[in-house]
Each structure stands twice: as structure tokens, then as C-alpha cells.
Amino acid sequence: MIRPERLTATLDGDFVVFLIGMRINRPLKVHKWLPVARAMPRMIEELYRKPELGFLHAESWFARTIVIVQYWRSMEQLLSYAKSRESAHLPAWQAFNKAVGTDGSVGIWHETYAASPGRYENVYVNMPPFGLGKAGTLQAASGGRQSAAGRLSAFRDAP
């Protein structure tokens, strides 16, 4: 559902933004990149089924480079999931290292950012709930929240 108003999203307390993805370097080596591409949705499905792990939401884009933006409650929960023997991540990571390793056929990457109130801002106009707007709470981007500087200031000045 498209929300025609100007909105901003907040999330109580600290949180983590985790960007992860893969790049298909050798498109004809389907046997190399397809298993990697299939592993990502399985992990996301697992995380949605187990909110106690700290995962909040994800958005995905698929092309030659696949990008998934994830929102997590804490760095500790993200790192715990990554090394858990009970999760889908560790076997997928081990399979990647065995099948692909550093042969150049498939690239993988991630970036991790810790966010806290007053250290992030966002705006959504004519959009369905998206990104942090799905992970957190949407509210009108009005009054002091009309500009990026105002939204940053509003977070810092909040009690």
C-alpha cells in the first residue's frame, strides 16, 4: 500500500544495519553462483521464523549484484547468528568456502553499521512501508522533521 504522505521512521534504541550480497562474476558458471543465491533466501526465511534471534527486517535487490539490507536489534545478536551451528548461515558459509573459495567465480561481501538515536535519518514519500519504515515505526515527517538536519536534531533532542 503506497503511503502518499511524507514519512520518517524511528526505531527505539540502538540497532544494526547489515548489508550483504553477492556478485556473479562468471555468469556461465551457474553451478557456482546458483547455490550461493539460493542460500540467501533460506537464511532470511529462517530469521523471520525466529524473531528471538534479533532480526527485524530485510529488503532485497536482485541483478548481477544481489544486495540484501537487513536490520538487527543488536550487533551481538547478528554475530551470534553468524556463528551458530544451529542456523542456516554457518553451513552455507562452509559450502561457499568449499565450492567457490577464492576462485573468482562468485563474489560475496558484507558491511555492518551500528546505529543509534541521533545518528541516522530517513524519509519516505509516496512509498509503501519500506526498509527501516518496516523494521521500525513510521510517523509524519513534519514540523521539525521536515529536513534531514531536523530529523537528526529531533532524535538527539528527544527525551
pLDDT tens digits, one per residue of 80-124 = 999 999 999 999 999 999 999 999 999 999 999 999 998 999 999
**pLDDT tens digits, 12-54:** 999 999 999 999 999 999 999 999 999 999 999 999 999 999 9
Contact between residue 35 and residue 159 where contact means Cβ atoms under 8 Å apart: no
**pLDDT tens digits, 114-156:** 999 989 999 999 999 999 999 999 999 999 899 999 998 876 6
The distance from CA 50 to its chain's CA centroid, rounded to whole angstroms, is 16
d(Cα 89, Cα 37) in Å, to the nearest integer?
A: 13
Residue range 45-67: average pLDDT? 97
Model pTM?
Answer: 0.91
**Domains, the chain, ordered by start:** 3-10+119-157 (no CATH), 15-114 (3.30.70.100)
